[in-house]
Structure formats: C-alpha cells, structure tokens
Structure 1
C-alpha cells in the first residue's frame, strides 16, 4: 500500500483502472494472493472522499467490481480445467506446482467444504482464501450459473462495503492523515477469520486420533471431497 496509495493519487482517472487490475490479478491469476485488495478498496474510497482522486467514486467502484468478478471467473475456469492438479498434493498423485502454496489451497478447499457454495461470497472478505476459492469451486464442479451469481453478488458486496467504509471514514481527521496506518489495521482485522480457522483446525487435529495402517482411511484422505 505504501507504493499503491501515491500511485493512485498520481494517475487521475486511470486510478480506477489500477484498482480493477489489482483486484483481477489478486482473484484470478493465483499469483496475486499477496496483493492488498481490502486495503486498496478502503484507500480508494478514502482518497475519493477527500478529493485526492479525480475519478468519480462510482466509476472506481464499478471498475473494481468488474475486475473482481472477472478475476473470480478466470479462477473458476482454471479450476474446471486444471483444478485437480492444483488441489491434490504431489505426494498423493497430483501435480501441484512447487511455486504454489499448498497451505493456501488447502485452506480454501476446507473453507469451501465447510461453507458450501456460499463460500464464494464469504471468501471475498478473507485474504488469501479469496484467491483460491474460485479454483476450488471450479474443481468441485460447482454449477457455472450458480457460481456466477454468487461471484457477482460477493464482488459487489465486497467493493461496496470496503469503499463505503473508506468514503465515510475519510471525514475523520485521524484517518485522513494516517491512511497507511489505517489500512494496515484493516489488513490485521481482515486476517482474523483466517487465523481463527487455522487455530480451530490445529485444535481439531490434536483432538482427533486417526487409526493407523487403515487402507480405507488412507483412501478417504487422498480423495478430493465434494461439498
């Protein structure tokens, strides 16, 4: 954000294109999981409210929504075409690329299995998970029309809520003069659900004792589960 915020301020009307492009890469190309989508939307709303951005806020929101929705559609298509290779680890017969974080994919897989199809909407608000959930949805053959509907709804809610938060908090003097600090706090807050999920998973794994040397149990572990 320390690079993106001044860049947004200097681009004029093209700031909307930058926001849309960042959200597209974050949600659609697998390599953008490190990009600050939440912070960028919040900062865009804040900077628009203070008049720093010349592009109208509705245009920034529209382009952001299109970038996020198209990114998820691309992720879904990747899942339909190559998803099993990405989800199943190499040690279980899959072909997951070594550069791709297995932990992130596994977290998105578990998130989707736990929440079902509504995970497409909920994942928007969970960093890292939102990058890989569309791939998991495509891999597990979620119906395309249903995915598209959830994708469009989730993208609209995500963009609207975070940009509205930035817009209305922009009038607060402390927020207006400490954009980077506020966006860092937003990142920390948005990571709480993911951290809670990790802690619950660890606690659950410690409490469960799977039978050893059970071929049937091993086959269940290796299977790609459906919701």
Structure 2
C-alpha cells in the first residue's frame, strides 16, 4: 500500500521529483513526460496531472544539461496536440449526454460547464487560451468534440495552442528557471505568462468594442 501511495504522490507532483527521475531513468524521462502531457490534455478524468509547472521545471533542468531542450520542444508539442485530438474524438463519440453525468472523484461537472460557457463566448480561440488555464485545458477539446467543431478548424487552433503553451513555458524555464527569485515565485511567473497570453484576445475585444 505504501508503494502505491508513493507512486501516486510522484505522478501528482512530478514537477517536484523531476530532477531525481532524470538521474534515475535517463533517456526514458522523455517517454514519461510525453505520457504525462498527453494524458493531462487527452482525458477529461486526468486534469489533476501537472502541466504548467512540469513544463517550466523541465525547461529549467534542460538549461543545466539534464535534458535536451530541442527534443523536449518537439516531443511535448506533439504530446499536447495529440492529447487534444484524442480528447476531441472522445467528446464527439460521447456527445451531449456527458452533461447529465454527476460529479465524481474523476469527473468535475462544474468545470465542464464553465468550459462550455467559455467556449460559447470565445469559440475556437478557447483551444488556444485554455492551454494556459488548468481544468479548462483538459475540458476544452472535449467540449469542442461534443459541439462537433469543424475538424480542420479544430486542428489549426489545437496546433497553435499546443505550440504556444509548450514552447513558452519550456523556454521561460530554460532561460529563467534557475534564478533564485523565479524558483521562489513559480506561481507568480506562471500567472504572468497567462496574462501575457491573454493580451491578444483582450486587444481584439477592445477593437471590437470600439468598432
């Protein structure tokens, strides 16, 4: 039982154990990171997995030679995009009946409903904006599938969102992650990235209001 609890703790807080896992598993750490990012974006029942902080810490470790930043960038963009594609198809298959499900340990109905409202307001841009918002990130492609969003349009927004999310957090971690102030204020840094990522949408909204 203790081994199971330890395994669950490592999975849920992989960002904290990443440096140790890099030393223990070597090149296999890339497969582990791929699986975590793919699962966090690919299944509506796994929004609790680390995303933002994991990418940031992975970038910081790459800066000190723990991993190759080029491999991380390519691999995790693919993981994030592929996860969303799977989630979209699951949403298309399950359909609107999912909104009748009740809350459970692995399903957050309130988060799903909030994501649907966000999607109705922002449309396809939700797939880009939600990348930087926990919970929304997991439910956005699912809602797009339920709503049967045009697949080609979905793929474009999905790839743009995956690239912006993965590249921005990995590179911020790579260039700034090992600074003492950044280490002590990781949550503040991530919020800052979210704010910057939302600026284009805010500017567009202002232009729409003025027009």
Q: Same fold (TM over 0.5)?
A: yes
Q: Which residue of 2 aligns with 1:79?
A: 91
C-alpha spacing 1:188/1:3, structure 2 compared with 1 (3 Å): farther
1:17-38: CA deviation from partner (whole Å, max 9, x where unpaired): 2221111110111222011110
Match of 1:146 among 142, 146, 153: 153
Q: Name the count of aligned residue pairs.
A: 181
Q: Which residue of 2 aligns with 1:167?
A: 174
Q: Which residue of 1 aligns with 2:6?
A: none
CA RMSD of aligned residues (A): 2.3
| Partner SS, residue 2 of structure 1 | helix
Q: Which structure's residues are more often helix, by fraction? A: 2
C-alpha spacing 1:131/1:84, structure 2 compared with 1 (3 Å): same
Computing the radius of gyration from Cα coordinates, the structure with the larger value is 1
* Structure 2 gap segments, 5+ residues each: 1-14, 196-211
Residue 127 of structure 2 corresponds to residue 120 of structure 1: yes
Q: Which residue of 2 aligns with 1:65?
A: 77
Residue 62 of structure 2 corresponds to residue 48 of structure 1: yes
CA deviation after TM superposition for structure 1 residue 63, in Å: 1.1
Asked if 1 retains the 8 angstrom alpha-carbon contact of 2:57 and 2:177, the reply is: no
For 1:1-227, list aligned pairs within 5 A: 1-51=15-65, 53=66, 55-86=67-98, 88=99, 94-96=100-102, 98-99=104-105, 100-170=107-177, 172-175=179-182, 178=183, 181-186=184-189
1:165-224: CA deviation from partner (whole Å, max 9, x where unpaired): 00110453554xx4xx444545666788xxxxxxxxxxxxxxxxxxxxxxxxxxxxxxxx
Give the 4+ runs in structure 1 shifted more than 4 A: 184-192
C-alpha spacing 1:123/1:10, structure 2 compared with 1 (3 Å): same
Distance 1:80 1:95 in 2: 16
Distance 1:146 1:140 in 2: 13
| Partner SS, residue 34 of structure 1 | coil
Asked if 1 retains the 8 angstrom alpha-carbon contact of 2:56 and 2:177, the reply is: no
* Structure 1 gap segments, 5+ residues each: 89-93, 193-227
